[in-house]
Structure 1
Amino acid sequence: MKIGILGGTFDPIHFGHIRPAQEVKQQLALDEIWLMPNHIPPHKQGTHVSTQDRLAMAQLVCDELAGFKVCDIEAKRETPSYTAKTLEQLNMLFPQHEFYFIMGMDSFLNLNKWYQWQQLFRLCHIVVCKRPGWQLTDKDPIQALLKLHIHNNEKPSTLGTGEIFMLDILEQDISSTAIRQQLQHGSIPATTMPLSIQTYIQQHQLYQTDFLSKTE
C-alpha cells in the first residue's frame, strides 16, 4: 500500500495538520495516512501535555476519517525521534508498503540540516506541501536536490523511493502555539480543530497552564 506519514508533536492536533494530510491523500491517491506523534521531539524543549494525551487526540481524528491511522512507533521511543531512524524501522516492519513522508515547505528548505537526511531518499518518497509564492535561487543547496529528485508527471519513475512530490495545498493559518494561548485564556478555538478534540481537551483540562513537560 501507499502510506503517507505525517509526524509531529500534535500539541494539540488541529485542522492545520488534518486538512493538508487529507489533500495529500487525495492528490496522490494514497491508501492510508499514518499520524505519528513523537515522544521526544529532537528540535523542541518538550511538549505541553503527555504523550498519552497526544496519542489519544490523534486516535480521535483517525476514528473520524477513513484511511487515517495512528502510528505510535516514535511515541514509544525513549530517545529523540529522528526521521531517518524512524523510516528505517518502518521499512523493516512493513516492507510491503511504500512510504510518503509529508512535510511543510519550511521543513523542506532545511532538509539538508536533518540528521542523516540523505538516507531518506532510499527509505521513502518526500511530499512537500508548498506555500504560496515560494521560490528557490540557483545558489540554494535544496535547489540541486529538488532538480535531482523531483517527480516528473510526464516520465513517472518506477522507483519505490526517492522522489520529491511538490503539491499545492490550501494554506491553513492555524498554529498549535496560538491554540494553546487561546486555551490558557479560557477560549475554545472552535474553528481550528474537530469537536472531538475540543471535547477531549475540556474533559481532561489540558493546556490550562504553561507547564512544559520534558519527561513523560
Structure 2
Amino acid sequence: MRIGILGGTFDPIHFGHIRPALEVQQQLALDEVWLMPNHIPPHKSGTHVSTDDRLAMAQLVCDAFPPLKLCAIEALRESPSYTVTTLQALKQQYPQHEFYFLMGMDSFLGLQSWYHWQGIFELCHLVVCQRPGSILSDDHPMHDVLAKRESALMAPFETESIEASIATNTGKIFRVSVTEQPFSSTQVRTDLEQGLAIEDALPVCIQLYIKQHQLYAPKARNSPQKS
C-alpha cells in the first residue's frame, strides 16, 4: 500500500490540514493518508489541549473522511517526535508499505535544520505541497536537493502514470499543487477564545467536540466599570 503521512500538533485540526491531505491522496492515488498528531513537538513549547483530545479530534476527522486514518505512534511516545525516528519505527512495523511524507514548501525550505534530515530520504518519499505563490529560488540550499530527487507527475489521477514515475521505494520528491486554505490553528484558537464564528474552518464533528469538552474556551472579558 502507498501511505501518505501528515504530521502536526493538530491543535485543533481544521480544513487547512484536511483538504490538502485529501487533494494529495487523490493526485498521487495513495491508498490512505495517515494523520499523525505529535506528542512533544521538538520545535514547540507545548500544546493548548491534551494529547488525548487531539487524538480524539483526529479520529473524528478520520471517521468523517474515509481516506484518512489515525496514526498514534508519535502521540504515544514520551520523547520528542523527530520525523526520522518515527519513520524508522513505521518502516519496521509496516515493511510492506511505501510511505509518502507530506509537508508544505515552507517546511521543505527549512528541512536542513531537521534532525538527521538526510536519513528521511532513505525511509520514504517526500510530497511537497506547493501553494499558489510559493517559490524555491535557484540559490536556495534545497534547490539542488529538489532538482536531484524530483519526480514529475505525468498525469494526475492516472495510477499507471504515477507508478511508472516511481523508480524506487524511497527518496523521491513529488511537488503537488494544493488549493490554498485561509486557516491556521493559531487563528482558529484566537477566534474560539474571542467567541467568533469558526464554521468555515472546522468540520461539524470538531465544532461539536470542542463545544462539548469546553476546549479553547472564550476568555472572560472585563465588564466596563460604572461611574
The bucket for the TM-score relative to the shorter chain is: over 0.9
Deviation sequence 1:20-41 (CA, Å, 0-9, x none): 0000000000000100001101
Structure 1 runs, 4 residues or longer, greater than 3 Å off: 152-155
Q: Does residue 204 in structure 1 map to residue 218 in structure 2?
A: no
Deviation sequence 1:43-101 (CA, Å, 0-9, x none): 01100000000000000000011121100000011111000000000000000000000
Unaligned runs of 5+ in 2: 155-163, 220-227
| TM-aligned CA distance change 1:43 to 1:209, over 3 Å | farther
Deviation sequence 1:141-181 (CA, Å, 0-9, x none): 10000011001346723200000000110000101111101
Which whole-Å CA distance do the structure 2 matches of 1:125 and 1:24 have between them?
A: 13
Alignment-derived partner of residue 182 in structure 1: 191
Deviation sequence 1:103-147 (CA, Å, 0-9, x none): 011101101111100001110000011022232333211000001
Sequence identity (%): 60
Q: Does residue 160 in structure 1 map to residue 169 in structure 2?
A: yes
Which whole-Å CA distance do the structure 2 matches of 1:40 and 1:198 have between them?
A: 24
Which whole-Å CA distance do the structure 2 matches of 1:40 and 1:135 have between them?
A: 30
SS at match of 2:147: helix
Would the aligned equivalents of 1:125 and 1:163 in 2 still touch at CA under 8 Å?
A: yes
Matches within 5 A, 1:1-216: 1-153=1-153, 156-208=165-217
1:43 maps to a residue whose letter is H
Which whole-Å CA distance do the structure 2 matches of 1:121 and 1:200 have between them?
A: 37
| TM-aligned CA distance change 1:153 to 1:77, over 3 Å | same
1:18 maps to a residue whose letter is I
TM-score by length of 1: 0.94
Aligned length: 210
Which whole-Å CA distance do the structure 1 matches of 2:153 and 2:190 have between them?
A: 43
TM-superposed deviation, 1:199: 0.3
Which whole-Å CA distance do the structure 2 matches of 1:134 and 1:158 have between them?
A: 27
1:97 maps to a residue whose letter is H
Larger of the two Rg values belongs to structure: 2
Which whole-Å CA distance do the structure 1 matches of 2:180 and 2:153 have between them?
A: 23
2:105 maps to a residue whose letter is M
Would the aligned equivalents of 1:188 and 1:198 in 2 still touch at CA under 8 Å?
A: no
Unaligned runs of 5+ in 1: 211-216
SS at match of 1:202: helix
Would the aligned equivalents of 1:59 and 1:70 in 2 still touch at CA under 8 Å?
A: yes
